[in-house]
Structure 1
Amino acid sequence: MSTGAVLAGVIDDHETTMIGLAGAINRFSDLGDPPVKLVRMSTTVDTFIAGDRRMCHVVALDMLLADGSAPSENTAKLVAAGYKVLVFSAGNNVRHLQQALANGATGVSLKDEPVTATVDKLRRVAAGETIPSLDLAAAIEADTEFVEANLSDREAECLALYATGYALTQVATQMNVQESTVKKYVDRIREKYEQVGRPAGTKIDLLRRAVEDGLLPPILPLKKRRNDS
Protein backbone atom coordinates (compact mmCIF):
# COMPACT_ATOMS: atom_id res chain seq x y z
CA MET A 1 0.00 0.00 0.00
CA SER A 2 1.31 3.42 -0.92
CA THR A 3 2.57 5.64 1.89
CA GLY A 4 0.15 8.49 2.52
CA ALA A 5 -2.74 6.81 0.71
CA VAL A 6 -6.32 7.61 1.69
CA LEU A 7 -7.77 4.47 3.25
CA ALA A 8 -11.45 4.06 2.36
CA GLY A 9 -14.28 1.80 3.42
CA VAL A 10 -17.66 1.07 1.83
CA ILE A 11 -20.90 0.17 3.59
CA ASP A 12 -23.61 -1.04 1.21
CA ASP A 13 -25.97 -4.01 1.32
CA HIS A 14 -25.80 -4.63 -2.44
CA GLU A 15 -22.89 -6.94 -3.12
CA THR A 16 -22.65 -5.96 -6.79
CA THR A 17 -22.44 -2.29 -5.84
CA MET A 18 -19.65 -2.93 -3.36
CA ILE A 19 -17.69 -5.12 -5.76
CA GLY A 20 -18.15 -2.65 -8.60
CA LEU A 21 -17.05 0.30 -6.48
CA ALA A 22 -14.12 -1.67 -5.10
CA GLY A 23 -12.92 -2.51 -8.60
CA ALA A 24 -13.36 1.06 -9.77
CA ILE A 25 -11.49 2.52 -6.79
CA ASN A 26 -8.60 0.15 -7.39
CA ARG A 27 -8.59 1.07 -11.07
CA PHE A 28 -8.79 4.85 -10.68
CA SER A 29 -7.14 5.33 -7.27
CA ASP A 30 -3.88 6.65 -8.69
CA LEU A 31 -5.54 9.32 -10.85
CA GLY A 32 -5.21 11.82 -8.01
CA ASP A 33 -2.94 12.68 -5.13
CA PRO A 34 -2.93 11.06 -2.69
CA PRO A 35 -4.11 7.72 -4.05
CA VAL A 36 -7.27 6.13 -2.61
CA LYS A 37 -7.11 2.53 -1.40
CA LEU A 38 -10.21 0.51 -0.49
CA VAL A 39 -9.37 -1.56 2.59
CA ARG A 40 -12.72 -2.50 4.14
CA MET A 41 -16.27 -3.39 3.03
CA SER A 42 -19.38 -4.27 5.05
CA THR A 43 -23.14 -4.57 4.66
CA THR A 44 -24.00 -2.84 7.97
CA VAL A 45 -22.53 -0.09 10.09
CA ASP A 46 -22.42 -2.25 13.22
CA THR A 47 -20.39 -5.01 11.56
CA PHE A 48 -18.12 -2.41 9.98
CA ILE A 49 -17.33 -0.82 13.35
CA ALA A 50 -17.04 -4.14 15.20
CA GLY A 51 -14.96 -5.88 12.52
CA ASP A 52 -11.47 -5.38 11.18
CA ARG A 53 -9.86 -2.69 13.32
CA ARG A 54 -7.80 -1.19 10.51
CA MET A 55 -8.74 2.46 10.61
CA CYS A 56 -10.20 4.06 7.49
CA HIS A 57 -9.93 7.75 6.84
CA VAL A 58 -13.29 7.91 5.08
CA VAL A 59 -16.36 5.71 4.59
CA ALA A 60 -18.78 5.70 1.65
CA LEU A 61 -22.16 5.03 3.29
CA ASP A 62 -25.33 3.91 1.53
CA MET A 63 -28.52 5.39 3.00
CA LEU A 64 -30.85 2.38 2.82
CA LEU A 65 -29.41 -0.77 4.36
CA ALA A 66 -31.20 -4.10 4.61
CA ASP A 67 -31.03 -4.18 8.41
CA GLY A 68 -33.51 -1.29 8.54
CA SER A 69 -31.10 1.05 10.34
CA ALA A 70 -31.68 4.80 10.17
CA PRO A 71 -29.33 7.02 8.11
CA SER A 72 -29.06 9.48 11.00
CA GLU A 73 -27.99 6.81 13.50
CA ASN A 74 -25.60 5.15 11.06
CA THR A 75 -23.86 8.44 10.31
CA ALA A 76 -23.65 9.39 13.98
CA LYS A 77 -22.14 6.00 14.89
CA LEU A 78 -19.46 6.28 12.23
CA VAL A 79 -18.57 9.87 13.14
CA ALA A 80 -18.40 8.95 16.83
CA ALA A 81 -16.06 6.08 15.93
CA GLY A 82 -13.71 8.51 14.21
CA TYR A 83 -14.64 8.08 10.54
CA LYS A 84 -15.36 10.81 8.02
CA VAL A 85 -18.50 10.01 6.03
CA LEU A 86 -19.33 10.44 2.35
CA VAL A 87 -22.97 9.68 1.59
CA PHE A 88 -23.07 7.23 -1.34
CA SER A 89 -26.68 7.24 -2.45
CA ALA A 90 -29.16 7.12 -5.29
CA GLY A 91 -30.26 10.52 -3.95
CA ASN A 92 -33.99 9.85 -4.17
CA ASN A 93 -34.80 10.71 -0.55
CA VAL A 94 -33.80 14.23 0.47
CA ARG A 95 -34.84 13.62 4.09
CA HIS A 96 -32.32 10.79 4.40
CA LEU A 97 -29.61 13.08 3.03
CA GLN A 98 -30.64 15.79 5.50
CA GLN A 99 -30.45 13.34 8.39
CA ALA A 100 -27.02 12.09 7.38
CA LEU A 101 -25.63 15.59 6.89
CA ALA A 102 -27.12 16.80 10.17
CA ASN A 103 -25.26 13.99 11.94
CA GLY A 104 -21.84 14.68 10.50
CA ALA A 105 -21.57 13.52 6.87
CA THR A 106 -19.62 16.10 4.86
CA GLY A 107 -20.32 15.16 1.27
CA VAL A 108 -22.72 13.41 -1.10
CA SER A 109 -21.83 11.22 -4.07
CA LEU A 110 -24.67 9.95 -6.23
CA LYS A 111 -24.46 6.40 -7.53
CA ASP A 112 -25.03 7.53 -11.10
CA GLU A 113 -22.02 9.86 -11.03
CA PRO A 114 -18.80 8.82 -12.77
CA VAL A 115 -16.78 6.66 -10.38
CA THR A 116 -13.84 9.01 -10.79
CA ALA A 117 -15.99 11.71 -9.15
CA THR A 118 -16.74 9.40 -6.22
CA VAL A 119 -13.04 8.58 -5.78
CA ASP A 120 -12.20 12.29 -5.82
CA LYS A 121 -14.89 13.02 -3.22
CA LEU A 122 -13.54 10.27 -0.96
CA ARG A 123 -10.14 11.94 -1.16
CA ARG A 124 -11.56 15.39 -0.40
CA VAL A 125 -13.77 14.28 2.50
CA ALA A 126 -10.83 12.38 4.01
CA ALA A 127 -8.84 15.63 3.88
CA GLY A 128 -11.51 17.35 5.96
CA GLU A 129 -13.26 19.19 3.14
CA THR A 130 -17.02 19.76 3.09
CA ILE A 131 -18.08 19.26 -0.50
CA PRO A 132 -20.51 21.81 -1.91
CA SER A 133 -22.89 20.47 -4.55
CA LEU A 134 -26.46 20.90 -5.73
CA ASP A 135 -27.40 17.72 -3.89
CA LEU A 136 -25.76 18.93 -0.70
CA ALA A 137 -27.44 22.32 -0.98
CA ALA A 138 -30.85 20.72 -1.49
CA ALA A 139 -30.32 18.38 1.43
CA ILE A 140 -29.41 21.09 3.94
CA GLU A 141 -31.96 23.67 2.80
CA ALA A 142 -33.44 25.04 5.99
CA ASP A 143 -37.15 25.21 6.68
CA THR A 144 -37.63 26.58 10.17
CA GLU A 145 -41.34 25.69 10.20
CA PHE A 146 -40.86 22.09 9.13
CA VAL A 147 -40.88 19.50 11.91
CA GLU A 148 -40.00 15.87 11.31
CA ALA A 149 -42.68 13.33 12.20
CA ASN A 150 -39.89 10.80 12.94
CA LEU A 151 -41.58 7.85 11.28
CA SER A 152 -39.96 4.47 11.70
CA ASP A 153 -38.71 2.75 8.56
CA ARG A 154 -41.73 0.41 8.57
CA GLU A 155 -44.12 3.32 9.05
CA ALA A 156 -42.46 5.18 6.18
CA GLU A 157 -42.78 2.08 3.98
CA CYS A 158 -46.45 1.76 4.91
CA LEU A 159 -47.11 5.44 4.20
CA ALA A 160 -45.45 5.29 0.79
CA LEU A 161 -47.60 2.30 -0.22
CA TYR A 162 -50.88 3.46 1.31
CA ALA A 163 -50.60 7.05 0.06
CA THR A 164 -49.88 5.81 -3.47
CA GLY A 165 -53.34 4.25 -3.57
CA TYR A 166 -52.97 0.74 -2.21
CA ALA A 167 -55.81 -0.58 -0.03
CA LEU A 168 -54.99 -1.79 3.49
CA THR A 169 -55.12 -5.41 2.33
CA GLN A 170 -52.72 -4.69 -0.53
CA VAL A 171 -50.30 -2.87 1.77
CA ALA A 172 -50.43 -5.83 4.14
CA THR A 173 -49.53 -8.19 1.30
CA GLN A 174 -46.65 -5.97 0.15
CA MET A 175 -45.26 -5.67 3.68
CA ASN A 176 -45.95 -9.30 4.60
CA VAL A 177 -47.93 -8.38 7.71
CA GLN A 178 -51.53 -8.62 8.89
CA GLU A 179 -54.08 -6.02 7.76
CA SER A 180 -54.62 -5.09 11.42
CA THR A 181 -50.91 -4.27 11.68
CA VAL A 182 -51.14 -1.95 8.68
CA LYS A 183 -54.12 -0.19 10.26
CA LYS A 184 -52.07 0.34 13.42
CA TYR A 185 -49.24 1.78 11.32
CA VAL A 186 -51.61 4.20 9.58
CA ASP A 187 -53.17 5.29 12.89
CA ARG A 188 -49.73 5.83 14.41
CA ILE A 189 -48.56 7.77 11.34
CA ARG A 190 -51.55 10.10 11.63
CA GLU A 191 -50.88 10.56 15.37
CA LYS A 192 -47.24 11.47 14.73
CA TYR A 193 -48.12 14.03 12.07
CA GLU A 194 -50.79 15.50 14.34
CA GLN A 195 -48.24 15.85 17.17
CA VAL A 196 -45.90 17.96 15.03
CA GLY A 197 -48.65 20.18 13.66
CA ARG A 198 -48.90 18.54 10.24
CA PRO A 199 -52.33 16.85 10.41
CA ALA A 200 -53.08 14.09 7.91
CA GLY A 201 -56.69 13.13 8.48
CA THR A 202 -57.43 12.05 4.91
CA LYS A 203 -55.63 9.87 2.40
CA ILE A 204 -54.92 12.97 0.28
CA ASP A 205 -53.28 14.57 3.33
CA LEU A 206 -51.15 11.46 3.77
CA LEU A 207 -50.12 11.69 0.13
CA ARG A 208 -49.06 15.33 0.67
CA ARG A 209 -47.01 14.37 3.73
CA ALA A 210 -45.32 11.51 1.87
CA VAL A 211 -44.31 13.91 -0.92
CA GLU A 212 -43.14 16.58 1.56
CA ASP A 213 -40.98 14.03 3.36
CA GLY A 214 -39.41 12.69 0.18
CA LEU A 215 -41.06 9.27 0.42
CA LEU A 216 -42.82 9.81 -2.92
CA PRO A 217 -41.87 12.01 -5.88
CA PRO A 218 -43.70 15.31 -6.42
CA ILE A 219 -47.01 14.91 -8.25
CA LEU A 220 -47.98 17.18 -11.13
CA PRO A 221 -51.24 19.12 -10.73
CA LEU A 222 -54.21 17.35 -12.29
CA LYS A 223 -54.66 20.08 -14.93
CA LYS A 224 -51.05 19.75 -16.01
CA ARG A 225 -51.29 15.96 -16.14
CA ARG A 226 -54.40 16.16 -18.35
CA ASN A 227 -52.64 18.47 -20.80
CA ASP A 228 -49.71 16.09 -21.00
CA SER A 229 -51.82 13.01 -21.67
Structure 2
Amino acid sequence: MADEMITAVIVDDHTAISAGVQSWCAQSVPPITLIDAGDRLTDVWTGPGALADVVIFDLELVPRRPDFGELRRLVDSGRRVIVYSQHTEDTIAMKCVDLGALAYLTKREGPEHLVPAIRAAARGEAYTAPSLSGALVADDDPGRPRLSQRETEVLRAWFVSASKDLVAAKLNITVKTVDTYIARVRVKYANVGRAARTKSELVTRALDDGLITLAELNETPPVT
Protein backbone atom coordinates (compact mmCIF):
# COMPACT_ATOMS: atom_id res chain seq x y z
CA MET A 1 0.00 0.00 0.00
CA ALA A 2 1.63 3.24 -1.13
CA ASP A 3 1.54 5.95 1.50
CA GLU A 4 -0.05 8.46 -0.88
CA MET A 5 -2.99 6.09 -1.41
CA ILE A 6 -3.97 5.77 2.25
CA THR A 7 -7.50 6.59 3.35
CA ALA A 8 -8.84 6.18 6.88
CA VAL A 9 -12.25 6.52 8.47
CA ILE A 10 -12.60 7.71 12.07
CA VAL A 11 -15.52 6.73 14.28
CA ASP A 12 -15.57 9.00 17.33
CA ASP A 13 -18.36 10.91 19.05
CA HIS A 14 -16.07 13.76 20.11
CA THR A 15 -15.88 16.31 17.31
CA ALA A 16 -12.73 17.89 18.75
CA ILE A 17 -10.89 14.56 18.56
CA SER A 18 -11.99 13.96 14.98
CA ALA A 19 -11.00 17.50 13.99
CA GLY A 20 -7.58 17.05 15.55
CA VAL A 21 -6.98 13.76 13.76
CA GLN A 22 -8.19 15.35 10.50
CA SER A 23 -5.58 18.08 10.89
CA TRP A 24 -2.78 15.61 11.71
CA CYS A 25 -3.60 13.50 8.67
CA ALA A 26 -3.79 16.50 6.36
CA GLN A 27 -0.42 17.79 7.59
CA SER A 28 1.37 14.44 7.36
CA VAL A 29 3.75 13.82 4.47
CA PRO A 30 2.34 12.45 2.27
CA PRO A 31 -1.13 13.42 3.50
CA ILE A 32 -3.67 10.81 4.59
CA THR A 33 -7.27 11.19 3.46
CA LEU A 34 -9.55 11.03 6.52
CA ILE A 35 -13.30 10.36 6.40
CA ASP A 36 -15.17 11.52 9.51
CA ALA A 37 -18.01 9.14 10.38
CA GLY A 38 -18.79 10.87 13.66
CA ASP A 39 -20.50 8.32 15.91
CA ARG A 40 -22.23 6.64 12.95
CA LEU A 41 -20.96 3.07 12.72
CA THR A 42 -23.05 2.56 9.59
CA ASP A 43 -20.72 4.99 7.79
CA VAL A 44 -17.88 2.49 8.24
CA TRP A 45 -19.85 -0.12 6.31
CA THR A 46 -21.41 2.06 3.62
CA GLY A 47 -20.32 4.96 1.45
CA PRO A 48 -16.70 6.16 1.33
CA GLY A 49 -15.98 4.71 4.78
CA ALA A 50 -16.54 1.18 3.48
CA LEU A 51 -13.56 1.59 1.14
CA ALA A 52 -11.17 3.11 3.69
CA ASP A 53 -7.91 1.27 4.25
CA VAL A 54 -7.94 1.84 8.02
CA VAL A 55 -10.64 2.23 10.66
CA ILE A 56 -9.79 4.46 13.63
CA PHE A 57 -12.23 3.27 16.27
CA ASP A 58 -13.32 4.94 19.49
CA LEU A 59 -13.97 1.99 21.77
CA GLU A 60 -16.59 3.82 23.84
CA LEU A 61 -19.29 5.26 21.60
CA VAL A 62 -21.79 4.38 24.34
CA PRO A 63 -20.69 5.90 27.71
CA ARG A 64 -19.02 3.42 30.07
CA ARG A 65 -19.55 0.52 27.65
CA PRO A 66 -16.44 -0.44 25.63
CA ASP A 67 -17.76 -1.95 22.41
CA PHE A 68 -15.61 -5.04 22.05
CA GLY A 69 -18.35 -6.71 19.99
CA GLU A 70 -18.15 -4.08 17.25
CA LEU A 71 -14.36 -4.29 17.30
CA ARG A 72 -14.57 -8.05 16.79
CA ARG A 73 -17.07 -7.58 13.95
CA LEU A 74 -14.77 -5.12 12.19
CA VAL A 75 -11.73 -7.37 12.54
CA ASP A 76 -13.63 -10.51 11.54
CA SER A 77 -14.80 -8.77 8.38
CA GLY A 78 -11.19 -8.10 7.42
CA ARG A 79 -11.00 -4.41 8.35
CA ARG A 80 -7.69 -3.02 9.59
CA VAL A 81 -8.50 -1.36 12.90
CA ILE A 82 -6.70 1.05 15.19
CA VAL A 83 -8.37 1.56 18.56
CA TYR A 84 -8.02 5.19 19.69
CA SER A 85 -9.46 5.35 23.16
CA GLN A 86 -9.59 7.34 26.37
CA HIS A 87 -9.13 4.09 28.33
CA THR A 88 -5.64 3.65 29.77
CA GLU A 89 -6.19 0.29 31.48
CA ASP A 90 -3.71 -2.36 30.35
CA THR A 91 -6.39 -5.06 30.40
CA ILE A 92 -8.52 -3.18 27.86
CA ALA A 93 -5.53 -2.52 25.61
CA MET A 94 -4.54 -6.19 25.64
CA LYS A 95 -8.10 -7.34 24.98
CA CYS A 96 -8.28 -5.13 21.90
CA VAL A 97 -5.00 -6.56 20.60
CA ASP A 98 -6.21 -10.09 21.32
CA LEU A 99 -9.35 -9.33 19.30
CA GLY A 100 -7.21 -8.30 16.35
CA ALA A 101 -6.68 -4.52 16.55
CA LEU A 102 -3.42 -3.63 14.80
CA ALA A 103 -2.73 -0.83 17.27
CA TYR A 104 -4.05 0.51 20.55
CA LEU A 105 -3.42 4.16 21.36
CA THR A 106 -4.75 6.31 24.13
CA LYS A 107 -6.00 9.79 23.33
CA ARG A 108 -3.01 11.17 25.18
CA GLU A 109 -0.88 9.95 22.26
CA GLY A 110 -0.74 12.45 19.43
CA PRO A 111 0.25 12.55 15.76
CA GLU A 112 3.78 11.29 16.41
CA HIS A 113 2.21 7.89 17.12
CA LEU A 114 -1.22 7.94 15.48
CA VAL A 115 0.04 8.84 11.99
CA PRO A 116 2.71 6.07 11.92
CA ALA A 117 0.09 3.66 13.30
CA ILE A 118 -2.25 4.51 10.40
CA ARG A 119 0.51 3.95 7.86
CA ALA A 120 1.48 0.63 9.47
CA ALA A 121 -2.14 -0.54 9.62
CA ALA A 122 -2.64 0.31 5.95
CA ARG A 123 0.18 -2.14 5.23
CA GLY A 124 -1.47 -4.73 7.47
CA GLU A 125 1.20 -4.32 10.14
CA ALA A 126 0.94 -3.80 13.88
CA TYR A 127 2.18 -0.65 15.62
CA THR A 128 3.21 -0.60 19.26
CA ALA A 129 2.66 2.80 20.87
CA PRO A 130 4.14 3.60 24.31
CA SER A 131 0.84 2.87 26.06
CA LEU A 132 0.63 -0.60 24.52
CA SER A 133 4.31 -1.25 25.15
CA GLY A 134 3.65 -0.69 28.85
CA ALA A 135 0.63 -2.97 28.69
CA LEU A 136 2.70 -5.73 27.10
CA VAL A 137 5.27 -5.48 29.88
CA ALA A 138 2.58 -5.52 32.58
CA ASP A 139 0.40 -8.15 30.92
CA ASP A 140 -0.51 -11.05 33.23
CA ASP A 141 -2.04 -13.30 30.57
CA PRO A 142 -0.83 -16.83 31.46
CA GLY A 143 0.01 -17.39 27.79
CA ARG A 144 2.52 -14.55 27.76
CA PRO A 145 5.79 -14.53 29.68
CA ARG A 146 6.33 -11.73 32.18
CA LEU A 147 9.32 -10.01 30.63
CA SER A 148 11.05 -7.20 32.46
CA GLN A 149 11.56 -3.89 30.70
CA ARG A 150 15.28 -4.62 30.41
CA GLU A 151 14.66 -8.07 28.95
CA THR A 152 12.31 -6.57 26.38
CA GLU A 153 14.81 -3.82 25.60
CA VAL A 154 17.64 -6.31 25.03
CA LEU A 155 15.44 -8.57 22.94
CA ARG A 156 14.29 -5.74 20.67
CA ALA A 157 17.82 -4.37 20.34
CA TRP A 158 19.08 -7.83 19.36
CA PHE A 159 16.47 -8.16 16.64
CA VAL A 160 17.33 -4.79 15.07
CA SER A 161 21.13 -4.93 15.40
CA ALA A 162 23.69 -6.64 13.20
CA SER A 163 25.36 -8.41 16.14
CA LYS A 164 25.28 -8.92 19.89
CA ASP A 165 28.42 -6.79 20.08
CA LEU A 166 26.43 -3.85 18.75
CA VAL A 167 23.62 -4.58 21.23
CA ALA A 168 26.14 -4.57 24.08
CA ALA A 169 27.65 -1.28 22.91
CA LYS A 170 24.25 0.34 22.44
CA LEU A 171 22.99 -0.65 25.90
CA ASN A 172 26.36 -0.25 27.64
CA ILE A 173 26.48 -3.86 28.83
CA THR A 174 28.69 -6.85 28.01
CA VAL A 175 27.98 -9.47 25.36
CA LYS A 176 27.78 -12.02 28.17
CA THR A 177 25.01 -9.95 29.78
CA VAL A 178 23.18 -9.82 26.44
CA ASP A 179 23.36 -13.62 26.29
CA THR A 180 22.08 -13.86 29.86
CA TYR A 181 19.02 -11.72 29.15
CA ILE A 182 18.21 -13.67 25.98
CA ALA A 183 18.56 -16.95 27.88
CA ARG A 184 16.15 -15.65 30.54
CA VAL A 185 13.61 -14.76 27.85
CA ARG A 186 13.88 -18.26 26.36
CA VAL A 187 13.26 -19.81 29.78
CA LYS A 188 10.22 -17.61 30.39
CA TYR A 189 8.70 -18.57 27.05
CA ALA A 190 9.36 -22.24 27.77
CA ASN A 191 7.67 -21.88 31.17
CA VAL A 192 4.40 -20.77 29.53
CA GLY A 193 4.51 -23.59 27.01
CA ARG A 194 5.80 -21.55 24.07
CA ALA A 195 9.36 -22.76 23.68
CA ALA A 196 11.66 -20.61 21.52
CA ARG A 197 14.81 -22.68 21.07
CA THR A 198 16.00 -20.94 17.92
CA LYS A 199 16.27 -17.29 17.05
CA SER A 200 13.58 -17.58 14.38
CA GLU A 201 11.20 -19.09 16.93
CA LEU A 202 11.97 -16.25 19.34
CA VAL A 203 11.28 -13.69 16.61
CA THR A 204 7.95 -15.41 15.95
CA ARG A 205 7.02 -15.24 19.65
CA ALA A 206 7.96 -11.56 19.79
CA LEU A 207 5.84 -10.81 16.71
CA ASP A 208 2.89 -12.70 18.17
CA ASP A 209 3.13 -10.72 21.41
CA GLY A 210 3.59 -7.34 19.74
CA LEU A 211 7.11 -6.80 21.08
CA ILE A 212 8.34 -5.94 17.59
CA THR A 213 6.73 -5.39 14.21
CA LEU A 214 7.39 -6.80 10.75
CA ALA A 215 8.20 -3.29 9.57
CA GLU A 216 11.00 -3.01 12.12
CA LEU A 217 12.36 -6.43 11.16
CA ASN A 218 12.23 -5.64 7.45
CA GLU A 219 14.46 -2.63 8.06
CA THR A 220 16.95 -4.67 10.04
CA PRO A 221 20.32 -5.90 8.70
CA PRO A 222 21.13 -9.62 9.09
CA VAL A 223 21.74 -10.47 12.75
CA THR A 224 24.28 -12.79 14.32
TM-score tier by shorter-chain length is 0.5 to 0.7
Residue aligned with 1:100, SS: helix
Q: How far has the Cα of 1:142 moved from its partner?
A: 3.6
What is the 5 A alignment of 1:1-229?
4-26=4-26, 28-29=27-28, 31-32=29-30, 35-45=31-41, 47-52=42-47, 54-66=50-62, 70-140=66-136, 141-144=139-142
Q: How far has the Cα of 1:36 moved from its partner?
A: 1.6
Q: How far has the Cα of 1:88 moved from its partner?
A: 0.8
Q: Name the % identity.
A: 22
Q: How far has the Cα of 1:127 moved from its partner?
A: 0.9
Q: How far has the Cα of 1:118 moved from its partner?
A: 1.1
CA distance in structure 1 between the partners assigned to 2:23 and 2:133 by the alignment = 30
Q: Which runs of 5+ in 2 are unaligned?
A: 144-224
AA at the equivalent of 1:18: S
Deviations 1:33-64 (A, max 9, x none): xx42113423143x234432541111111121
CA distance in structure 2 between the partners assigned to 1:75 and 1:21 by the alignment = 20
Aligned-residue RMSD, C-alpha: 2.7
Number of equivalent positions: 139
Q: Which runs of 5+ in 1 are unaligned?
A: 146-229
Q: Identify the residue that residue 168 of structure 1 maps to in structure 2.
A: none
AA at the equivalent of 1:52: G
Residue aligned with 1:42, SS: coil
CA distance in structure 2 between the partners assigned to 1:90 and 1:3 by the alignment = 27
TM-score (norm 1): 0.52
Residue aligned with 2:55, SS: strand
For the 8 Å contact 1:84–1:126, the answer to whether it is kept is yes
